[in-house]
A and B are shown apart, each in its own frame.
Chain A
């Protein structure tokens, strides 16, 4: 075979490969847009101020998501309050302070594994520990703790990766100027890994905000017609309200579900957008 013919044949593979790739992309995009459009078309018309400030109701057109989004807000607040400091400090300790030995290696592997555990397992664990052993009840606090456990591994792994990305030469430059370990961490490690950590935290929280299974397991209510007064009060959250409405037979409730879905989706997308912006900003500023 001549060289030209060989190149022509090789290029044909190029061509067919691009065709297949483009088709895959189109298919995924199409499926996704259809889903989103379907949700948006059904849900957006349902959105109104009343929908946001009404409690759930037996009547679909009077029902709203007030207790759901307030619940989501508080559960996320507790989750963030617990998981962010705990996750960042654990990641920092494991990467920057802990001696590199068999034990830390073992811990490292287990943390990575934890992020792959199905969320319902976390729910079962939380039911055993927080509800039954610690008697925290089926409360906002239990929900926040449960979701904290769920996303801790994500935050720890993100922190470790962000810290690990900082070159040794930068650490050594700091130490060579007489900095202590804490000064090095405070002035260099944390600021330079901030982008990666913040991105990881937001991604983790946007995962938590949509979680349903573990919260059902620890006893989320599906019908709450009051706002919580303390973290020990019973709770519901957006995805659970959504799940409740979608499981009703009446079509009007399905419209409510779509409305709640649009809100939940918007929250998630907003969080991801913030993550992208932070990452972009930091990447522009920090180069080695």
Chain B
């Protein structure tokens, strides 16, 4: 099967004020694959992830250098002329800690549609059900769609956040350690979910869990101190890493 690029990061530097958090990163993201980003704490995984949807624009003093080209149109999304709001309509994000809105389950999933100005009840209702089904949460919540999302368990909340992202039909979904706050059962559910999600979506996920990276991802990037150390097919990274540092990290000798 021929794979195509969904996004290409080229010579990306990122600065928090004067602190250079990402140093000359170049990496290609394949369409409808899972790309995992691993590395010790503070190496810049979250920072890179948040470049894809220009989340850094929300805070003053942050600066990008270099390019992230988004396909199929091949435009550099870091260009100041690109509207981050428009970009975020195409690139969804799931955060480390489940962060549902203090609204009903239904309203949480519907929110992305409301932002797009969709008001027709039938369309929203359909999309809410479809997204909840896809996020494997429908059966658990279908009888209480109008209850507060905060009543759900942590794992359910995280799947709700995934459903909320799916409802806007993103091209890429960014996951920032989506299971780090969850128990093994909930984690397994989310991992299985990623497996099905990649049939439709391109996924980039950050994880601290080596087994998880090995299980769910097709490609793995290893970062260290803001630099990309190694990037390859996941099986190569885990069975035959080319850089010593990578091997040390995945075998648990540091990090």
Interface residues of A (CB under 8 A from B): 99-100, 167, 169-180, 183, 187-188, 192, 285-288
Instruction: From the candidates B102, B116, B168, name the one contacting A286 in the complex (CB within 8 A).
Output: B102
* Closest 7 pairs between A and B when the two form their complex, measured CB to CB: A178-B89, A169-B99, A176-B93, A286-B102, A178-B88, A177-B112, A173-B99
A188 in contact with B101 (CB, 8 Å): yes
- Judge whether A172 and B55 touch: CB under 8 Å: yes
Residues of B within 8 A of A99 (CB): 60
How far in angstroms is the closest Cβ of chain A from B70? Answer: 15
Residues of A near B99 (CB, < 8 A) are 167, 169-170, 172-173, 288
Task: Check A187 against B114 for contact (C-beta < 8 Å).
Answer: yes
CB distance B53 to A176 under 8 Å?
Answer: yes
Which residues does chain A contribute within 8 Å of B92, judged by CB atoms? 176-177
Instruction: Provide the bound-state CA to CA distance between A70 and B112, in Å.
Output: 48
Shortest Cβ gap from A211 to chain B (Å): 36
How far, in Å, is B221 (CB) from chain A's closest CB? 22
Chain B contacts of A175 at CB under 8 A? 55, 58, 88
Report the bound CA distance from A178 to B170 in whole Å.
11
Residue positions of B touching A, CB distance < 8 A: 53, 55, 58, 60, 85-86, 88-89, 92-93, 95, 97, 99-102, 111-112, 114-116, 148, 150, 161, 164-165, 168
Min Cβ gap A150→B in Å is 33
Identify which of B97, B112, B148 contacts A178 (C-beta below 8 A): B112
Contacts of A173 in B (CB 8 A): 95, 99-101, 161, 164
For B165, list chain A residues within 8 Å (CB): 176-177
Cα(A188)–Cα(B100), bound, Å = 11
Residues of A close to B150: CB separation below 8 A: 287-288
Q: Which residue of A lies closest to B108 (CB)?
A: A173
> When the two chains form the complex, which single residue of B55, B116, B148 contacts A176, counting CB atoms closer than 8 Å?
B55
29 contacts between A and B (CB under 8 A): A169-B95, A169-B97, A169-B99, A170-B101, A170-B102, A172-B58, A172-B95, A173-B95, A173-B99, A173-B100, A173-B101, A173-B164, A175-B58, A176-B88, A177-B89, A177-B112, A177-B115, A177-B165, A178-B86, A178-B88, A178-B115, A178-B116, A178-B168, A179-B111, A179-B115, A187-B111, A187-B114, A285-B102, A286-B102
CA separation between A1 and B161, bound complex, in Å? 59
Query: Measured between alpha carbons, how far is A287 from B150 in the docked complex, in Å?
Result: 7
Contacts of A183 in B (CB 8 A): 115
Chain B residue numbers with a CB within 8 Å of A180 are: 85
CA distance A107 to B95 in the complex (A): 34
Question: Complex Cα distance A183/B89, Å?
Answer: 14
Q: Which residues of B contact A178 (CB under 8 A)?
A: 85-86, 88-89, 112, 115-116, 168
Which residues of B lie under 8 Å from residue A179 when comparing CB positions? 85, 111, 115
Closest to A171 in B: B58
Across-interface contacts of B85 in A (CB, < 8 A)? 178-180
Contact present for A177 and B168 (CB under 8 Å): yes
A287-B115 in contact (CB<8A):
no
* In the complex, chain A residues whose CB is within 8 Å of the CB of B55: 172, 175-176
Task: Give the residue of A169, A177, A192, A286 whose beta carbon is less than 8 angstroms from that of B111.
Answer: A177
